[in-house]
Amino acid sequence: MNEKIGLLGKKVGMTHIFKEDGTRVPVTVVDVGSNVVTAHRTAERDGYTALQLGFDEQKPSRVNKPDLGRFKKADTTPRRFIRELRVDAAQLEAHPVGSKIEATLFEDGAVVDVCGTSKGKGFQGVIKRHGMRGEKRSHGQHEVYRHGGSIGCRLTPGRVIPGKRMAGQMGNERVTIQNLEVARVMPDEGVLLIRGPIPGGNDGYVTIRHAVKGSAK
């Protein structure tokens, strides 16, 4: 288990910074300024240990009464984005309910994994969705240039096998990009600058954790 906790954040957009040697580095700006511990999950009560984090304050009028009671118990304002991060028992003691977790959890050059929801592309065909090349454009071919070809299996088993690559919904799914570098930590602004792109569009929520394997490229 990765014993290091993470942060919740919101993608602000992309920009660039310059290193001391003048190298231009593209970065994604992630707002992580309002992380707060809203609950604990313990092995005795829940069967596992985890920190429940809340991010992005919202009006109490936008929260139902059961959730409002939970935030009141944690002595914090309601949050819009809630996630649980598996940790060990020591981390529960180090981060009591109601405490804040700052951007200083990470340092310049840290390697992280970022998880978010990718941009939705709607219903797409097999060429855009799976990179198929389509049918040949020779004489006699008619209106099937971007089709996916045969999807059958002859007589046995005589059906389309589950998981066959076909047209359908593209994007709008959980995506994790591993081994991204934290180019700069800006604690006063509550912002992380992560090198390169991260999943989702602007204002999308993401989860940032220390990398579980590998290192920055």
Question: Is there a domain that residue 58 lies in?
Answer: yes
Give the CA count within 13 Å in the CB-facing half-sphere of 172. 8
- Classify residue 17 as left (phi > 0), alpha (psi -120 to 50) or beta: beta
Same domain, 90 and 176: yes
Same domain, 37 and 126: no
**Model confidence pLDDT, tens digit, residues 55-91:** 999 999 999 999 999 999 888 999 999 999 999 988 8
Same domain, 19 and 48: yes
Question: Is there a domain that residue 112 lies in?
Answer: yes
CB 210 within 8 A of CB 2: yes
Same domain, 38 and 86: yes
Question: Is there a domain that residue 176 lies in?
Answer: yes
Number of domains forming the structure of the chain: 2
Same domain, 32 and 139: no
Same domain, 154 and 95: no
Same domain, 76 and 144: no
Q: Which domain holds residue 77?
A: 7-120+171-210
Token pair in block for residue 28 = 């994604």
**Model confidence pLDDT, tens digit, residues 6-41:** 999 999 999 999 988 999 999 999 999 989 999 999
The residue with tokens 């313990």 is 42
Measured CA to CA, the distance from residue 207 to residue 113 in angstroms comes to 8
Same domain, 204 and 107: yes
Token pair in block for residue 144 = 């099937």
Q: How many CB atoms lie within 10 A of CB 8?
A: 24
Same domain, 141 and 175: no
Question: Is there a domain that residue 1 lies in?
Answer: no
Measured CA to CA, the distance from residue 93 to residue 32 in angstroms comes to 22
Same domain, 48 and 89: yes
**Model confidence pLDDT, tens digit, residues 38-48:** 999 999 999 99
Question: Is there a domain that residue 202 lies in?
Answer: yes
**Model confidence pLDDT, tens digit, residues 153-163:** 888 888 999 99
pLDDT average, residue stretch 128-135: 93
Question: Is there a domain that residue 84 lies in?
Answer: yes
Which CATH number does the domain housing residue 98 bear?
2.40.30.10
The model carries a pTM of 0.86
Question: How many residues are recorded in the chain?
Answer: 217
List the one residue out of 10, 5, 2, 8 whose CA is nearest residue 40: 5
Same domain, 38 and 126: no
Question: Is there a domain that residue 99 lies in?
Answer: yes
Same domain, 92 and 150: no
Indicate the pLDDT class of residue 1, thresholds 50, 70 and 90: very low
Question: Is there a domain that residue 2 lies in?
Answer: no
